[in-house]
Amino acid sequence: MSELLYGSTRGTGGKVTASQAILKGLADDGGLFVPEEIPALPMSMRELASLSYQETALAVMRQFLTDFTEEELRACIDGAYDDKFDTAEIAPLREADGAYYLELFHGPTIAFKDMALSILPHLMVTAANKNQIKNEIVILTATSGDTGKAALAGFADVPGTKIIVFYPKDGVSPIQKKQMVTQRGANTFVVGIHGNFDDAQSSVKAMFGDGRLKAELDAHGCQFSSANSINIGRLVPQVVYYVYAYGRLLGRGAIADGEEINVTVPTGNFGNILAAYYAKLMGVPIGKLVCASNENRVLFDFFRTGAYDRNREFILTSSPSMDILISSNLERLVYRIAGNDADRDAAFMRSLSETGRYELTAAMREGLADFAGGFASERETAAEIRAVYERTGYVLDTHTAVASFVGRKYRETTKDDRKMVIASTASPYKFTRSVMEAIGGQYDGMEDFALADKLAELSGVPVPAAVEEIRTAEVLHRTVCEISEMETVVKSFLGV
């Protein structure tokens, strides 16, 4: 197999191997690493349909991570997708209400981020050894709720690493916050900020691009890497579950070999739906990719008008992991539809930074034909949770409900009757208050763990271990800072 190299969407810095791209996280010019080409699937969908999740992961990841040996990848995969997940299927498909929900929340933190962040630490440690890295790897990340806990769980006490997570202090659910601030591990550090996710993400990106800070860290024997979805080591494992989902549908006879399916993804930072697009480019028969937004509808407007404009009110919703106005992974799509023109991509990103907007050319808009956009209001999200529960007994979390509503509206509007896979990105137990209030009832006097018990009674699904273990866990992380103080806080933790 020939080696697949990676370059920046903004064009400078030359080509790097997959392991080098994983270690760096973000390119030196601020761009995102993309493969020189999207590799084809190594076997037919019929052959893939017979594979386990772990075998599917190996088949897909070998195509992208070509400087890892098969033995190295097997070790990473086996270390990631084991009994940390509460089902041997890892990512089961649940048929309900006329769609197939791809349940991506069976990992240790009950959100889809586990699918990639369970393997990223293994990939990163392997990559560090492969590249003779002597520095300590410092994972610096911003989270809108789920990435933070999944990254903390993955990297806690991993030798040769530290992890620092910034989250919006008032912009995550109580369960999400409790999961993060109770995280054990001598190498973990969790910080709330006075601001929103975009503020945190912009500051983290600025630290990555600061040459002075990079030199200071190097002098102290450490270097930054990222666990955000901008890291190609996050994106590649996400491609796997879309390949696996098609294989499962084919294997159970729900579709014919080669029959196209549609995929709807609740979308914030654009990584999860981009992974589905990469799966389509690899050869998975996917028709339309439906991008589902909440009331922060910047992506809906982008697909409708061709203009990306973050100059709008930031809205806190019941689906906080999607409360994002700067969708970083969209840059990878923009680069591709620009004909892999790094100069044009860089100009768009400069415009976004300086003016808050950019607009595609008419020719580039034609490159968006694989996508459709939709959004759900808070009222529509709650109504979807209630309606699906009343019709089927199946309980959706708030993010999956956004996708469920948008996917259903897409089918009704377009009459597109292809089978629909909906990415179910979190357990309803992460958002118990919003879910229970949507189903019906007043719970003002009840705390979230009591609500979790109520949800268990109502759904027949036991309270997950991820929730049980934090009921009485001690709060270990109490640091809160202003956006302007983030670099100082990082340097203090690292002793720089």
Residue by residue, DSSP assigns 129-166 as HHTT--SEEEEEEE-SSHHHHHHHHHHTT-TTEEEEEE
For residue 104, the one-letter residue type is L
SS3 sequence, 204-254? Answer: HHHHHCCHHHHHHHHHCCEEEECCCCCCHHHHHHHHHHHHHHHHHHHHCCC
Give the pLDDT of residue 89. Answer: 97
Given a contact cutoff of 8 angstroms between Cβ atoms, the answer to whether 63 and 282 are in contact is yes
Secondary structure percentages of the chain, helix, strand, coil, to 5: 45, 15, 40
For residue 66, the one-letter residue type is T
Which residues are identified as catalytic? 113
The span from the CA of 100 to the CA of 41, in Å, is 23
Give the pLDDT of residue 94. Answer: 97
Give the pLDDT of residue 1. Answer: 66
For residue 250, the one-letter residue type is L
**Mind listing the pLDDT tens digit of every residue in the chain (496 residues)?**
689 999 999 998 789 999 999 999 999 899 999 999 999 999 999 999 999 999 999 999 999 999 999 999 999 999 999 999 999 999 999 999 999 999 999 999 999 999 999 999 999 999 999 999 999 999 999 998 788 899 999 999 999 999 999 999 999 998 999 999 999 999 999 999 999 999 999 999 899 989 999 999 999 999 999 888 889 999 999 999 999 999 999 999 999 999 999 999 999 999 999 999 999 999 999 999 999 999 999 999 999 999 999 999 999 999 998 999 999 999 999 999 999 999 999 999 999 999 999 999 999 999 999 999 999 999 999 999 999 999 999 999 999 999 999 999 999 999 999 999 999 999 999 999 999 999 997 788 888 899 999 999 999 999 999 999 999 999 999 999 999 999 999 999 999 9
- Nearest Cα residue to 269 out of 226, 320, 326, 210: 326
The span from the CA of 287 to the CA of 299, in Å, is 19
Given a contact cutoff of 8 angstroms between Cβ atoms, the answer to whether 64 and 21 are in contact is no
The span from the CA of 382 to the CA of 387, in Å, is 9
CA angle, 441 as apex, 437 and 445 as ends, to 5°? 85
Q: What's the distance, CA 333 to chain centroid?
A: 15
Which helix (H) or strand (E) is 424 found in, with range? strand 420-424
The span from the CA of 286 to the CA of 423, in Å, is 14
Given a contact cutoff of 8 angstroms between Cβ atoms, the answer to whether 204 and 198 are in contact is no
SS3 sequence, 286-325? Answer: EEEEEEEECCCCHHHHHHHHCEEECCCCCCCCCCHHHCCC
For residue 411, the one-letter residue type is R
Strand 357-359 versus strand 6-8 pairing type: unpaired
Give the pLDDT of residue 12. Answer: 83
The span from the CA of 174 to the CA of 190, in Å, is 15
Numbers of helices and strands, H then E, in the chain: 22, 15
Give the pLDDT of residue 146. Answer: 82
Given a contact cutoff of 8 angstroms between Cβ atoms, the answer to whether 428 and 455 are in contact is yes
Residue entry with tokens 């498909």: 93
- Nearest Cα residue to 34 out of 371, 241, 328, 369: 328
CA atoms within 13 A on the CB side of 485: 12
Q: What is the pTM of this model?
A: 0.93
**Long-range contacts formed by 460-467: CB under 8 A, 24+ apart:** 460/393, 461/395, 463/429, 464/86, 464/110, 464/427, 464/429, 465/86, 465/108, 466/108, 466/109, 466/110, 466/179, 466/427, 466/429, 467/110, 467/175, 467/429
The edge-to-edge listing of strands for the beta sheet with 286-293 is 93-96, 99-103, 420-424, 261-266, 286-293, 371-375
- Nearest Cα residue to 51 out of 311, 240, 206, 308: 240
Strand 357-359 versus strand 307-309 pairing type: antiparallel
The span from the CA of 184 to the CA of 153, in Å, is 9
Distances, alpha carbon 100 to alpha carbons 51, 236, 245, 381, 457, in Å: 19, 22, 9, 18, 24
The span from the CA of 275 to the CA of 292, in Å, is 15
SS3 sequence, 165-213? Answer: EEEECCCCCHHHHHHHHCCCCCCEEEEEEECCHHHHHHHHHHHHCCHHH
For residue 15, the one-letter residue type is K
Cα distance between the two ends of the chain: 43
Longest pairwise C-alpha distance within the chain: 61
For residue 383, the one-letter residue type is A
